[in-house]
Amino acid sequence: MKITTAGESHGKGLFAIMEGIPAGLTLNIGAMNAALALRQSGYGRGERQQIERDEAELLSGVRGLVTTGSPITLAVWNRDYENWKDTLAPEGCDERLRPLTTPRPGHADLVGAIKYGQTDARNVAERASARETAIRVAAGEVCRRLLEELGVEILSYTRSVGPVSDPREYAFDMLAARDGELHMLDSELTERAKGEIDRCRAAGDTLGGVCEIRVKGLKSGFGSCMTSDKKLDARLSAAVMGLQAAKGVEWGAGFAGAALPGSSFHDAIFCEEGRGYYRKTNRAGGVEGGMSNGEEIVLRVAMKPLPTLKSGLSSVDLSTGQPARAAAERGDVCAILAFGVVAEAAVCAELAAVAIERLGGDTLAQMKKRYGELPQ
């Protein structure tokens, strides 16, 4: 399976082409639009979310909400394009309008401008923007539907916002109780985190955080120990590290596990009739030797503080080479809830690709039959 996205932050829209989704999968456009709305929500979001009301449109590969086996094309249109078409219209525009000549530290502006020979970083910023993740969420919901048919569930929640961290471990079934503002599971910590966001907003600053993604119901053996590029943890790590603002990933016990002796880290193996092999702990995060082991997949992703600051950091004007303050483009104070939604979508997409590779089949029925024949 392959997913290709296109589009710019303030262009006409965002688009995805999905190749390899089997025929016979019924899509849920309501769930897709609900995920898009969730991505736009969360405490600390900026003005752009008040302009856009993201909804997905199916352009090809689907008939009567059922996939046909041909490439699926998705679109999410940008309402804000009406305010930017004089600057960005593909058919003709005035490129002197709204130039971005003072790159923002931490963004793609400067490196991209140098790479592509630009003195105006607008073209770079438009594509590098996290606005692109809207179409990834839409595509991720197609993949989630495929995984649901196999009995696989994916959810995330927020482990930390800035300095406010939740050290507790939660059962998968508790994750649905995450709050609607930051996707945390402790109301007291949510209020503390909101206070930190408010302080940063007043100071013109931003905050990052950590989200945890969990996968329940995946059978063992997905991924491979034979070649490094097929290892499941490597593939899912690459998928989430490809997200804008991602700066780190850890599995299971993560970096804290490096301080433990092997006898306290590795998950002992047990077996029961009717249940098969299992583990009473999951410090490996559901993956051993690059393959799923039947336990829950547990990975966490660190999101850096957003690089668009109201106050602006020191920078250099690309057109003159002189010192300047970084551009204060419209942005969020904190987007950790949205980051978790997007990380879920990335995991759904890569996990669907792994499942399709192992199970094969032109139709959903063939995939489900082969999955049902696999051992736990």
**Which pLDDT score is estimated for 331?**
78
**Which pLDDT score is estimated for 312?**
83
* Cα–Cα distance list, 112 to 13, 275, 308 (Å): 21, 53, 16
Q: Per residue of the chain (376 residues), what is the pLDDT tens digit?
A: 999 999 999 999 999 999 999 999 999 999 999 999 999 999 999 765 666 789 999 999 999 999 999 999 999 999 999 999 999 999 999 999 999 999 999 999 999 999 999 999 999 999 999 999 999 999 999 999 999 999 999 999 999 999 999 999 999 999 999 999 999 999 999 999 999 999 999 999 999 999 999 999 999 999 999 999 999 999 999 999 999 999 999 999 999 999 999 999 999 999 999 888 999 999 999 999 999 999 999 999 999 999 888 878 999 999 899 999 998 766 799 999 999 999 999 999 999 999 999 999 899 999 999 999 998 8
Residues 48, 131: contact at Cβ < 8 Å? Answer: yes
Under DSSP, the state recorded for 185 is S
Sign of CA dihedral 240, 158, 154, 57: negative
CB atoms within 10 A of CB 132: 21
SS3 per residue for 129-156 = CHHHHHHHHHHHHHHHHHHHHCCCEEEE
d(Cα 218, Cα 88) in Å, to the nearest integer? 44
Residues 120, 318: contact at Cβ < 8 Å? Answer: yes
d(Cα 52, Cα 14) in Å, to the nearest integer? 12
> Residue 256: left (phi > 0), alpha (psi -120 to 50), or beta?
alpha
Longest CA–CA span in the chain (Å) reads 74
- In the chain, where are the structural domains located? 2-372
* Cα–Cα distance list, 292 to 38, 52, 170 (Å): 29, 39, 20
Report which of 149, 295, 103, 107 is spatially closest to residue 215, judged by C-alpha positions.
295
**Angle ∠(217,222,225) on CA atoms, nearest 5:** 140
CA 349 vs. chain centroid, Å, equals 10
3-state helix, strand, coil in the chain (%, to 5): 35, 20, 40
CATH of 2-372, one of 3.40.190.290, 3.90.1200.10, 3.40.640.10, 3.60.150.10: 3.60.150.10
Look-up of token digits 């599971």 = 185
Residues 1, 67: contact at Cβ < 8 Å? Answer: no
Report which of 246, 240, 338, 370 is spatially closest to residue 297, judged by C-alpha positions.
240
pTM: 0.95
Residues 240, 213: contact at Cβ < 8 Å? Answer: yes
d(Cα 40, Cα 245) in Å, to the nearest integer? 16
